[in-house]
Amino acid sequence: MRILGIETSCDETAAAVVTAEGEILSNLVLSQLEEHRPYGGVVPEIAARSHLDHLDGLIARAMAEAGLGFEDLDGIAATAGPGLIGGVFVGVMTAKAIAAARKLPFLAINHLEGHALSARLTENLEFPYLLLLVSGGHCQLLAVEGVGAYRRLGTTVDDAAGEAFDKTAKLLGLGYPGGPAVERAAAAGETGHFELPRPMKGRDSLDFSFSGLKTAVRHAAAALDPPPDGASPAVRNLAAEFQAAVGDVLADRCLRALASFGADYGRPGPLVVAGGVAANHYLRARLTAVAAEAGAGLLAPPPWLCTDNAAMIAWAGVERLRLGLGDPLDFAPRPRWPLEQLRRPQPETAAAELGETNP
Ligand code: KG4
Ligand code: ZN
């Protein structure tokens, strides 16, 4: 089985071809970084136009690199939400057009499910597992029971972890995109020079909060003399303290979640981390230690599979298609689409629907 995956939900235009055996035949990611950089963040209208300009050419290149024609494919998977809706439309319309013209199954992929299943593309990972999903828009702990079967254990009550990295980078004059810039600065700094809070640490729930930490970074940055304008020693130390605070909070929440997961499912994990923030090497090391403390393993996709890409979307397509699932060509893209709204697949119904609605 070979699936073409398309990702256009934020500021990366991406196309990839993946097989059911987990072979990545091509995986292209075109970053729009330079187009958004002057604005210090993603501008939805610019993103949508750029996807429109580049997607067709990128798909042609992904197919050529895979050495395949459309006739060799078994399905087309595209991110259908959640995300910036203009961009999502570009990807979904393109996927539907290819599916209709080539009489192939169309798979409307939830971007978060793409992240959630990504570790199964590179690792030998069985259901159920405990997932820490940390991206630019989300910070959640989920029990992943199967494809389409997610139980949310905790979530952020305000900002996402990636958002906190991005805002911290802005406050410290480290530029855009924030996550990798903060990680670089932190690696050259040391902790112990600033006092920052560890929101939610020790609380009974499995929720997160990052807005208090962001405010504390803002106050600390405002008190810097001279003001932060790049990686001065004080900026590097503040970045290191911020990253350590995030690490402490994630470690505390994951340890608690591992205990709760163990009680519910009768096994200690494994703990899986996914989403852009999971590319952070310091946080991966912290989570490895936490998992070991709970007698579990940590499974993390390689960093290039953590940040947005189309291989994870194609893989989610593989996972769905081999369960007999597909989506109708009138599937409407969704700007908001929580994982818990995906239902556990009913293969018989799904196969029937696929036969009826896809050409
Ligand atoms: O999953 P992703 O690529 O896009 C979304 O679906 O949101 O995640 C992007 C987020 C951004 O907030 C970015 O700053 C963060 O992931 N990120 C990182 C690192 N690389 C990306 N955060 C911390 N350390 C990194 N190395
Ligand atoms: Zn993402």
Query: Residue 350: is its pLDDT beyond 60?
Result: no
- Backbone Cα Rg of the chain: 21
Q: Can you tell me which atom of ligand 1 is nearest the CA of 162?
A: 12
Query: Residue 359: is its pLDDT beyond 50?
Result: no
pLDDT tens for 145-172 read 999 999 999 999 999 999 999 999 999 9
Q: Are 17 and 68 in contact (CB under 8 A)?
A: yes
| Residue 300 to residues 117, 127, 161, 185, 278, Cα–Cα distance (Å) | 11, 15, 17, 23, 7
Report the SS3 class of residue 156. strand
Instruction: List CB-based neighbours of ion ligand 2 within 5 Å.
Output: 135, 308
pLDDT tens for 202-251 read 999 999 999 999 999 999 999 998 888 777 999 999 999 999 999 999 99
* Pocket of ligand 1 contains residue 319 by CB under 6 Å: no
pLDDT tens for 285-336 read 999 999 999 999 999 999 999 999 999 999 999 999 999 999 999 999 999 9
Compute the mean pLDDT over every residue in the chain, rounded to the nearest whole number: 94
Torsion, Cα of 229, 233, 238, 243 (10° steps) = 110
Pick from 96-110, 319-333, 342-356: least confident: 342-356
Q: What percent of the chain has pLDDT over 90?
A: 91
The protein residue whose alpha carbon is closest to atom 3 in ligand 1 is 307
Q: Supply the pTM of this predicted model.
A: 0.94
CA distance 253 to 299: 17
Q: Can you tell me which atom of ligand 1 is nearest the CA of 138?
A: 7
Say what the pLDDT of residue 356 is: 44
- Give the sign of the dihedral formed by CA 32, CA 116, CA 104, CA 74: positive
Helix (H) or strand (E) holding 133: strand 129-134
* Pocket of ligand 1 contains residue 118 by CB under 6 Å: no
CA distance 327 to 344: 14
Question: Which residue of 170, 184, 304, 307 sits with most ligand 1 atoms within 8 Å of its CB, as the best mutation to test the pocket?
Answer: 307
